[in-house]
Amino acid sequence: MNMFTKFLLRTVTFIVIFAAAINAQDNLEKGIKAVKNGDYVGGLNLLKGVSKDSYEANLYYGIALFQTGSEKDAEKFLKDAVKKDDERPEAYSVLGELYSSQKNYSGAASQFETAKKYLPLNKTKDDLEKEEIATIIDVLSSEAENFIADGKVDKAITSLTMAKTYDDKNPMIYVGLGDAYLARGAFDPAKSNYDQALKYKPNYAPALFGLGKISFKQKKYSAALENYIKSSEADNNFAPAFFEKGLMFYLLDKFTDAIEAFERYDQLVPGSPRGKTYLAKARYGKGEYDEALTILNDVLAIDPNYSEANKYTAYVMIEKKEYDKAEQYFKKVKEEDLNSEDYQKWSKIYVDKKEYSQAYAMLDKALALDENDENTYFEYGKALFAEQKYGDARVKFGKAIELGILNVAAYVYAGICDFYLNEFDKGAEILTKSMELNPNIASAYLWRANNFAGVSKNAEACADYQKYLTFEPNDTFAQEQVKKFCGK
């Protein structure tokens, strides 16, 4: 090889190495910027191939991993960041957030205390750079969220009040205060703080999300959904809004919309089994049981003990009437992870098997967890109705209605109970209310007609039997009733 060729090869090699170094540095800068802007998936992809030889590379890659659901890997890189520089606060603070998300509140508190050791808290805001103030507020706000999750609301407010001394117009602080008051059930001050955040930063996704949480707690579901939608539209990367939006659509039986929302959540947090599990739940709600089961099997293949996936697999098995398998999956769920809805579903196994005492035991457990869950009263009413205990069933349906149940079937069942109890006027009245809420439930017209017939309101009975036949034209009973009450 002559000298010129050697020189040429060295030059090309140098150019390639130099270009790679420039590209890596460019990806590092772009990745950090993406993470700071809340684009964690984009940041993750940019930082994945970057050398982790600096504090910043490990820190921001760790943040991206944490925010996209890969908690174990996130912890490793955040600890590596600390090894690179153990006198900077950011990595300790994010580790605190990570441990808090795992409900290790004391471990999180320890990380926040360490982070604060390296904050310039001995200086006033006039002596600090803008970035130093932002870091102080990030750490104190995250510490406050951990206190809130741990039930220590007063300490949370103390942390946030300290943060306000550095920047009293930062919307993150007011969202934190809103969260603190919401945890206390103090809706008015919570709303005031979320509104204050929106004053300083209009269309701020976390504040709109907070307003949605207030409405949900107040059982104002339409308002909650509206704010979750606004929050997701304000920031297409704000994962919590997509999750809660999906949950609201699920509760409203709008399963296609729920699937779309949970799919977006899963895109934003691909490392978390939570999004996949709730996506499966939405497909279950839509009746796509095999599709739901495929997703759940994938989740359980990675973590066989994941409670949410086990419980929703049980839900699917109930629909398939594979009750023994359903119970096996329910029994894999830790008792502390079972909620009212789970006991409601579990009770259906025993109702279908006509083992009513066991069904009632499950529903009693549901009420012990939440005595104001309208859906538990509804399911309790259905179980009693199946055993033909119409008086007791009517009481349960009435309670569900009183608590604001969204499912109009509760009104219909109540009207049917009234018929069997010879409370015909009462039955006609509650069925009329059901039609005001949803005019397209065929059975409501049939049973209102039966109630009208019970008090000899023949013209009204005739009209309802005829209306029912527009839904079910081949129903022979209704055809005979039309002949009887309409003279046809």
Give the residue-averaged pLDDT of 153-174. Answer: 96
Last residue within a domain, chosen from 250, 271, 292: 271
pLDDT for the residue 17: 45
pLDDT for the residue 20: 42
Query: Does residue 352 lie within any of the structural domains?
Result: no
Output the average pLDDT for the chain.
92
* pLDDT classification of 487: cutoffs 50, 70, 90: confident
pLDDT at 286 over 50: yes
pLDDT at 442 over 70: yes
Structure tokens belonging to residue 401 = 């209605």
Query: Does residue 264 lie within any of the structural domains?
Result: yes
pLDDT at 27 over 90: no
Element (H, E) at 344: helix 340-352
Structure tokens belonging to residue 193 = 């703080």
Residue with tokens 């079910």: 472
pLDDT for the residue 170: 97
* pLDDT classification of 18: cutoffs 50, 70, 90: very low
pLDDT at 22 over 80: no
pLDDT for the residue 12: 45
Query: Does residue 188 lie within any of the structural domains?
Result: yes
With a CB cutoff of 8 Å and minimum separation 6, the contacts of 30 are 46
Query: Does residue 411 lie within any of the structural domains?
Result: no
- Asked whether 392 and 356 are in contact (CB, 8 A), the reply is no
pLDDT at 8 over 50: no
User: What is the number of structural domains in the chain?
Assistant: 2
* pLDDT classification of 7: cutoffs 50, 70, 90: very low
Q: What is the pLDDT of residues 107-140, one digit of tens each?
A: 999 999 999 999 999 988 899 999 999 999 999 9
With a CB cutoff of 8 Å and minimum separation 6, the contacts of 215 are 221, 223, 224, 226, 227
Count CB atoms within 10 A of the CB of residue 53. 8
pLDDT at 75 over 80: yes
Query: Does residue 430 lie within any of the structural domains?
Result: yes
Structure tokens belonging to residue 207 = 């504040």
pLDDT at 271 over 90: no
Nearest-angstrom CA–CA distance, 99 and 383:
42
Structure tokens belonging to residue 115 = 């982070």
Count CB atoms within 10 A of the CB of residue 467. 18
pLDDT for the residue 13: 52
pLDDT at 2 over 70: no
pLDDT at 68 over 60: yes
The angle that helices 40-47 and 3-36 make with each other, rounded to 10 degrees, is 160
Structural domain including 462 reads: 420-488
pLDDT at 167 over 80: yes
Query: Does residue 8 lie within any of the structural domains?
Result: no
Last residue within a domain, chosen from 271, 305, 320: 271
Query: Does residue 24 lie within any of the structural domains?
Result: no
* pLDDT classification of 32: cutoffs 50, 70, 90: confident
- Could you give the 3-state DSSP secondary structure of residue 236? coil
pLDDT for the residue 276: 94
* pLDDT classification of 9: cutoffs 50, 70, 90: low
Give the residue-averaged pLDDT of 256-280. Answer: 94
With a CB cutoff of 8 Å and minimum separation 6, the contacts of 172 are 137, 138, 141, 197, 206
Q: What is the pLDDT of residues 236-261, one digit of tens each?
A: 999 999 999 999 998 888 999 999 99
pLDDT at 420 over 80: yes
Cα–Cα–Cα angle for 316, 320, 328, nearest 5°? 60
Q: With the CA atoms of 12, 16, 22 and 26 taken in that order, what torsion angle do they form, in degrees rounded to the nearest 10?
A: 140
**Spatial CA neighbour of 140 closest among 112, 111, 118:** 112
pLDDT for the residue 49: 83
Nearest-angstrom CA–CA distance, 402 and 395:
10
Last residue within a domain, chosen from 242, 271, 300: 271
* pLDDT classification of 466: cutoffs 50, 70, 90: very high
Give the residue-averaged pLDDT of 410-422. Answer: 97
Residue 150, burial from CB neighbour count under 10 angstroms (0-12, 13-18, 19+): middle
pLDDT for the residue 51: 80
Provide long-range contacts, Cβ within 8 A and 24+ apart, for 322-328. Answer: 323/349, 323/352, 323/353
Q: What is the pLDDT of residues 319-339, one digit of tens each?
A: 999 999 999 999 999 999 999
Query: Does residue 454 lie within any of the structural domains?
Result: yes
With a CB cutoff of 8 Å and minimum separation 6, the contacts of 435 are 441, 444, 445, 448
Alpha helix stretches (DSSP H) within 118-220: 130-149, 153-164, 171-183, 187-200, 205-217
pLDDT at 5 over 70: no
- Tell me, what CATH number does 449's domain have? 1.25.40.10
The rounded Cα 364 to chain-centroid distance in angstroms is: 25
Q: Which amino acid is at 348?
A: K
